[in-house]
Structure 1
Amino acid sequence: MTLTPSTPSVPGHTCSSCGARHDEPPMHYAAPAPSYWTPEMESEPDCLLSPDQCVIHAEHYFARGTVEIPVRGTDEVFSWGVWVSLSRENFGRMSDRWDTPGREHEAPYFGWLSTELPVYAPTTLNLKTYVHTRPIGERPRVELQPTAHPLAVEQRKGIGTDRVRELAELLLHG
């Protein structure tokens, strides 16, 4: 899976991987699809992949959201664009309210993280989550249930700017 970087905002540094000067590391990386999606599914009638929702074989339902991690000592937030599997019922409820003002007042939906973030061990697949709907035009916020998993710990405690740079180097240079 390829994670795509977006807008940078933490001050530049010299990359320990390539030795080049990078002005600023990206603060957001996003997965284009759930880890269970394959390109062959695009042509299957019971599969759908849109920028915000995914259905696989009319059995598995996913919504796109963000895992936000505060950057300690700054006003910045580092985020992962991820996919979360939802029950058919919750997916339908979320879809029915997708364009409804006030949808952010919905109770959170339970889901399973369905994005493999390669910089974490053990796997991030199937971590338990709560999906918090936000106002129209904003992707849901994904809250990991509090466990000892490194991603869940980072979401609760935040990360430093050194960790932001480390993540950028790992993701940009493998």
Structure 2
Amino acid sequence: MNYTADAPAVWDPAFAESDDCLLSTDQCVVRGQYYFVKGLLEIPVIGSDEVFSWGVWVSLSRENFSRLADLWDRRGRETEKPHFGWLTTDLPAYSTTTLNLKTNVHIRPVGERPYVELEPTDHPLAVEQRTGITMDRVQEIAADLFHSSRSEQP
């Protein structure tokens, strides 16, 4: 019921050797100029209590990234207002790119990934987040992801 991206779309494994780059399971910095946080873009599954989650990366301004880093281990951080960002994960289950969709990142209690809310547009991903998806759509996404990962293998 979930898929996660290991890094933002702009990440190159060669960056790992640079002093001004960082990739952890939750945060990423590229060239000391671009800042990213990992969150969950959740989609309700119609007719159930389940949620399908995309583990995605969102770019933040330097100020918002610093603020989030300051609050990372602080109790009560979920009262923080949402932070604007751009989606930087291209999800393979959509024919239209998901890169650069506008988001709001909502900080949740310590130990929980932030919640990523898309701007309400007509992009299929944004529509699915607002209206939910069927279990058949979940299975379709799983099949797309399986075929996508197999085609990337040497």
Partner of 2:9: 35
Alignment partner of 2:124 out of 142, 150, 155 = 150
- Aligned pairs, how many? 148
| Structure 1 position 47 matched with structure 2 position 24 | no
Q: How many angstroms apart in 2 are the aligned matches of 1:93 and 1:143?
A: 19
Tell me the CA shift for residue 149 of structure 1.
0.2
Which SS does the other structure have where 2:97 is aligned?
coil
Alignment partner of 1:84 out of 38, 47, 58 = 58
Q: How many angstroms apart in 1 are the aligned matches of 2:95 and 2:76?
A: 37
Which SS does the other structure have where 2:47 is aligned?
coil
Partner of 1:121: 95
Counterpart AA for 2:74: T
| Structure 1 position 136 matched with structure 2 position 106 | no
Counterpart AA for 1:148: D
Which SS does the other structure have where 1:42 is aligned?
helix
RMSD: 0.5
Q: Which has the larger radius of gyration?
A: 1
The answer for unaligned runs of 5 or more in structure 2 is 149-154
Q: How much identity, in percent, do the aligned residues show?
A: 64
Q: How many angstroms apart in 2 are the aligned matches of 1:109 and 1:121?
A: 27
TM-score (norm 1): 0.84
Counterpart AA for 2:51: V
Partner of 1:18: none
Alignment partner of 2:76 out of 87, 102, 105 = 102
TM-score (norm 2): 0.95
Counterpart AA for 1:135: P
Q: Runs of 4+ in structure 1 displaced over 4 angstroms?
A: none
The answer for unaligned runs of 5 or more in structure 1 is 1-26
